[in-house]
Amino acid sequence: MQINYKLQDRFDLVVFVPVMFLIIFGLMAIYSSTVNHPVASGNFQRQFAALIISLFVFFVIYFLPSQYLRTAALPSYIFSIFLLLVVLVAGKTVYGAKSWMDFGPIGFQPSEIAKIGTILMLSHWLTDKKDDINNVKDIGIALFIGFLPVALVLLEPDMGTAIVFGIITISLLFWSGISLFAMFVVLSPGVVAISSIFGTLPFIVTIIAVLVSLVLFKRDLFNSITIFVINLSAGFLVDFVIKYLKPHQQRRIASFLDPNADPLGSGYNAIQAKVAIGSGGLFGKGFLQGNQTQLRFIPAQWTDFIYSVVGEEFGFLGSIFIVVLFLTFFMRLLTLSSFAKDRYSSLLIIGALSLFFSHFAINIGMNLGITPVIGLPLPFVSYGGSSLLINMVFVGIISNIYRNRKSHT
C-alpha cells in the first residue's frame, strides 16, 4: 500500500478553511460589539480561549481511530439524555429557559452535548436498517430517538434547539432512504400545525393540500383516513397549545407575524438588526464604526444578532462573504456524505449538515427578518464557548471521516 503524504489527501482544507474564516469573522464581530460594553467587554478574550480549547479537541477527534465514532453512539446518547434530565432539575435559568449547567466557572448547555449523542445514536440506528426502513416500527424507534431530546429541550423551554433536533431527525430519516410516502406521513402533521398558527385560511389550504396528496399517493382507504385525521387534529392541537404558551412566547409568535406591531417589545431586536444591516450599504461602515453596534442598540448582539454586526460594519460584501463561506462548507459536506466509505459516516455528515444548516437558516433568517425571532446562535460566528466547542467536535468528526475515507472497515 502506498501512503500519500499530501496534506490535502489526509486533511480536508475545503472544510477547515471556511470554518476558520467564519471563526475569525466572528471574533472580529464579537470584539466590535463588546469592546465598549460595560458587562461583556471580556467576551472576546473568553471566545478566543474557547477557540484554543476547541482546536485542541478538534485535533484529538481528527486523530481518533474511526471505529470509535461508532462505539461512542449509545453511551453518548444515554449520557445526553441523562444531562437533559439533570438540567431540568438542577439547571440555571438564563433568558427564561432552564438550559444552563454550571461547573465552577464554566457554564454549558446540555442540549449542546445532546446534539452529538443524538446524531451519533440516530445514525447508528439507521445504519443497520437498509431495506426494511419503511416499516412503522423502525421509523417509530428512529422518531423516538430523535424526539426524546426534542421533548426534553421543549420542557426547558428552548424552542429553537427543539426545532433543530426535529430538523436533524427528519433529515437523517430522509437520507437513510425512507419512502416519500413515509416522509409525507412524518412531515405533514408538522406542516399543518405550523400553517394553523398563521390563521384559519392557511390551515384550510394546507389541509386541502394534504387531502389531494393522499388521493395522489393512492394508498388504501383506512390508512389514508387515519393520516388525514392525524393531520386535522395536529392543526387543532396547535391552537390549543398556543393558548397554554407563556405570554412571552405568544408575543414572539405575534411579533414574527407582524414585527412592527410592537416595535419596543419583542419586535425591537428584529427591527434594530434590520436597520443595522440595511444601513451597512455595500462596503459597511467600517470595523468598530457602526453606530448601531457601538451605541449598543441591540441587546446581547454578540450572540444571536452577531450577523447584524457583520452587516453593519462590513456591509453587503462582508455579509455575502459569510453566506458564501457557509455555502462552500455545506456543499462540501453534501459531497463528502455522498462519497463516504460507509453508511454510518455518510449519515453522520448529514446529521452535522442539518445541524449547521438549520442554525444558519434560522439565525440569518431572523437577522434579515425572513424567519421568526428564535434564539439560535450562528455556528462558528456567534459568541459562546460551548457552542463553538461542539461545532468543532462535528468538524473534527467530519475531518476524521475524510482522513479514513479510503481505509476499509
CA dihedral 83, 87, 88, 89 (to 10 degrees): 110
- Smaller CB distance to another protein: residue 132 or 220? 132
Q: Tell me the three cell numbers of residue 202.
A: 392557511
- Smaller CB distance to another protein: residue 19 or 61? 19
Q: Residue 106, exposed/middle/buried by CB under 10 A (0-12, 13-18, 19+)?
A: exposed
Cis peptide before 157 (omega within 30 of 0): yes
- Smaller CB distance to another protein: residue 353 or 355? 353
User: For the window 315-344, what string marks contact with another protein as x by the rule CB under 8 A?
Assistant: xx--xx--x--xx--xx--x--xxx---x-
Contact pick of 3, 7, 221, 295 for another protein (by CB under 8 A): 295
Residue 66 CB contacts under 8 Å (≥ 6 apart), including other chains: 345, 400, 401, 403, 404, 407, 409
Are the CB atoms for 397 and 352 separated by under 8 Å?
yes
Residue 361 engages another protein in binding (rule: CB under 8 A): yes
Q: Residue 9 and residue 21: Cα distance in Å, rounded?
A: 21
Contact pick of 99, 206, 292, 400 for another protein (by CB under 8 A): 292
Q: Tell me the three cell numbers of residue 328.
A: 462552500
Q: Residue 90 and residue 98: Cα distance in Å, rounded?
A: 9
CB of 280 to another protein, least distance (A): 6
Residues 10-69 contacting another protein, CB under 8 A: 35-36, 38-39, 41-42
Q: How many residues form the binding site for another protein (CB under 8 A)?
A: 52
Residue 100 bridge partners (DSSP): 92
Q: Residue 155, exposed/middle/buried by CB under 10 A (0-12, 13-18, 19+)?
A: middle
CB of 235 to another protein, least distance (A): 24
Stretch that binds another protein, among 83-91, 268-276, 384-392, 398-406 (CB under 8 A): 268-276
Residues 362-391 contacting another protein, CB under 8 A: 364-365, 368, 370
CB of 278 to another protein, least distance (A): 3
Q: Contact residues for another protein (CB under 8 A)?
A: 35-36, 38-39, 41-42, 130, 171, 174-177, 274-282, 288-289, 291-292, 294-295, 297, 311, 315-316, 319-320, 323, 326-327, 330-331, 334, 337-339, 343, 346, 350, 353, 357, 361, 364-365, 368, 370
